A and B are shown apart, each in its own frame.
Chain A
């Protein structure tokens, strides 16, 4: 069982959260001409590496806020959690 520290609610167990995938993916800017490849990278292509991974979770059975979690994909150690609009300094 993962224990995720929601920046709004504190430490909660994994069952309260829903996973949202890679948090480093940026949606291309609106109203700007982009290539098919850029769009493809945004929608489908992922690095998904072993080790540190910055990802989105939603505290679905809690405050319902989206948060960012920095987690190791091999050991599941959680290094850091952030509000959705915060970046790692």
Chain B
């Protein structure tokens, strides 16, 4: 594999950039693999990369129905954070923050990680108390958190509406300075390129049609490009989890819902943080190109549409304009939707299943992108060692049976819009 460096950049410029290697190959599926990962999104690609890098398992295939990075890893709003109160979530996502900080060097691919900080806005004394509690919990877990009063928030985001006579006046906010954004496509491509270079087969346009299970054990997977013999399968298919679960005769505590996002036309730099206005189901950041990147809540009913419906978008942008009135002057450039694997308690599942050799990674709700490296790392560990790591022990499938829910924010399949 050619290293991406200033030296190689200059060298290739002399040949009009005609001599670069392909970033990854387009192999034909082999008859047999040690591990097959279903789903070539961020989590699947990261899992394959860490299987090869941390566990020396390189006879691995990633099977993707469409093209890699065409699902939610290419549809999110690129926010990275670890501002969680519960220990399981805090440890997992802070471990992920470490991987994010090293990612560009680790992958030899510029993922444009930009730790610009995230601010959650508060609108009452009670909410300030709740944020103080969460901030303290974060700091006890070694995560940076700063409680901001109204004046401090005003200094950072002066363009927000600070008048008193509004439904949700700004009382203050909780900031995680080390949170930020990254270039989402680069994350998928960076993991794909490194995984490919270590021998992983990335097989695109290959749909899973069934599973070969006997005696409660995985023996293989049937695909649109032939049957593959394999003892271990990792399922990383986000919004398509329920479809594959049906082929496995499983029902899961997960529903598939639609989440929308949108960007405005590019403008000069105005907002240098990620800001969430949770009470209004609205969050915003500004991309490096200058677009205002905005999103909100689920459309609110089960959906596989991968495109949005206008009432939710209208609600989200109405709230956005209420918080930041200057947005009303901007034209909308693009809106889009992705299908989310919404778990019933709002937290993910990374676990073994009752079928030997079948491993499950799903339930990412609103927070799949930021979890990409930690999810891949822990899922690779779970598959390679056939046991969960302590970082993903809380994300068990059985917690719904035992009542050990991770209901961090009261989010799940039910939205607060409707």
B256 proximity list for chain A (CB < 8 A): 48, 50, 73
Check if B253 sits within 8 Å of A47, measured CB to CB: no
Interface size on A, residues (CB 8 A): 28
**CB closest residue in chain A, given B398:** A40
Check if A48 sits within 8 Å of B242, measured CB to CB: yes
Interface size on B, residues (CB 8 A): 25
Select B246's contact among A36, A45, A49, beta carbons within 8 Å. Answer: A49
Check if B401 sits within 8 Å of A18, measured CB to CB: no
Main secondary structure of the interface of B (DSSP, over half): mixed
Known: A21-B413, A48-B255, A50-B243. Contact between A37 and B301, CB under 8 A?
no
Tell me, yes or no, whether A83 is within 8 Å of chain B by CB.
no
Known: A21-B413, A48-B242. Contact between A75 and B418, CB under 8 A?
no
Select A53's contact among B243, B254, B302, beta carbons within 8 Å. Answer: B302
How many residue pairs bridge A and B at CB < 8 Å? 72
Check if A73 sits within 8 Å of B302, measured CB to CB: yes
Tell me, yes or no, whether B333 is within 8 Å of chain A by CB.
no
Check if A37 sits within 8 Å of B401, measured CB to CB: yes
Check if B243 sits within 8 Å of A49, measured CB to CB: yes
Tell me, yes or no, whether A80 is within 8 Å of chain B by CB.
no
Check if B251 sits within 8 Å of A46, measured CB to CB: yes
- Provide the bound-state CA to CA distance between A22 and B415, in Å: 15
Known: A36-B401, A48-B242, A49-B242. Contact between A73 and B303, CB under 8 A?
yes
Please give the distance in Å from A72's CB to the nearest CB on chain B: 9
Which of B22-30, B73-81, B96-104, B304-312 lies at the interface?
A: B304-312
Lowest 6 A-B CB distances belong to which pairs?
A44-B253, A45-B251, A48-B255, A48-B242, A50-B304, A74-B304
